[in-house]
Amino acid sequence: MSTIRVGHLYPDYLNIYADRGNIAVLTRRAAWRGHELEVAPLGMRDPVTPGEHDLYYVGGGQDREQLLVAEDLVRKSEPLHEAVRGGAAVLAVCGGYQLLGRGYRGFHGEDMPGIGLLPLDTVAGERRMIGDVLIECELDPGEKRTVAGFENHAGRTRLDPGAEPLGRVLAGFGNDGEGGFEGCRAGRVIGTYLHGPLLPRNAWLADWLLAQALAHRLGTDESPALEPLPDELERSAHEVSAARARSRGGRFD
Ligand code: GLN
């Protein structure tokens, strides 16, 4: 039984579409396995100490909120890079995902610096990409799983050649509405446009993140296997969301 330590970046600024619900899912799924999730808010001017957290979480936000936190995030860049080199996991959603890249040019042309934890750039386009999304991921070789969620972004994200997307788009827009891929993954760092929040309808992904965080906590390369849970409700939530994405997909607005 371990304590999993989560650093929640800017909970007061980056939290739309109930992104905070992702933390609730992690807390409960850890507790069901006898682990405690200790969540520390990391706001403006709060220092990041490498090694202190097993998982960092950053939610989504509108351009205005992203502008407010971007400079501060750059001040946290070096310790965050060191934490990730030391094996910490990261989940970043939408606005947070964009700021994990090299930078984001917002809808009104504001240039926001990113921290380069993921090999990508984002520039806002004229029309927002909105709607239900379904993607197919293979985070562990040979294990194909789907992730369902909701996207609403003006940003078009371009991954560097050779970068690993989080998944392949089955329905919806994804990173840029044309390349057929969604999100980005670099080791234990995951960025995605999917809100809703993301984890209640994708319980397997919550477990994958918990396992990465536990591996950091235990100092192992291999992530520990988590005891399976019944997940009937979680599976239905996924199915409803996946079916909505398949029938409606995304639309420009
Ligand atoms: N402001 C960003 C965009 O519009 C991110 C939006 C979000 O987090 N939903 O692209």
For the chain, strand residue ranges (E) read 3-9, 36-42, 55-58, 89-93, 103-105, 111-113, 120-140, 143-159, 167-171, 181-182, 184-186, 189-192, 250-252
pTM above 0.85, yes or no: yes
- Residue 104: other Cβ atoms inside 10 A: 27
Ligand 1 and 154: CB distance under 6 A: yes
Question: How many A from CA of 98 to the centre of ligand 1?
Answer: 8
Q: What is the CATH number of domain 3-248?
A: 3.40.50.880
Q: Are 33 and 227 in contact (CB under 8 A)?
A: yes
Among 166, 162, 161, which Cα is nearest to 149's? 166
Provide CB contacts within 8 A for 25, sequence distance 6+.
197, 199, 200, 203, 206
193/75 Cα distance (integer angstroms)? 24
Task: Say whether 137 is catalytic.
Answer: no
Q: Are 65 and 124 in contact (CB under 8 A)?
A: no
High-pLDDT (> 90) share of the chain, % = 96
Domain boundaries, the chain: 3-248
CA atoms within 13 A on the CB side of 212: 24
pLDDT band of residue 250 (cuts 50, 70, 90) is low
User: pLDDT tens-digit profile of 199-241?
Assistant: 999 999 999 999 999 999 999 999 999 999 999 999 999 999 9
Choosing from 94, 137, 153, 238, the catalytic residue is 94
Task: Locate the ligand 1 atom nearest the alpha carbon of residue 152 and give its number.
Answer: 9
Ligand 1 and 155: CB distance under 6 A: yes
> Two tokens at 205?
């992904």
Ligand 1 and 37: CB distance under 6 A: no
> Two tokens at 67?
């502008």
Give the 3-state secondary structure of residue 43.
Answer: coil
Ligand 1 and 152: CB distance under 6 A: yes
Give the 3-state secondary structure of residue 78.
Answer: helix
Say if residue 6's pLDDT is above 90. Answer: yes
DSSP state of 179: S
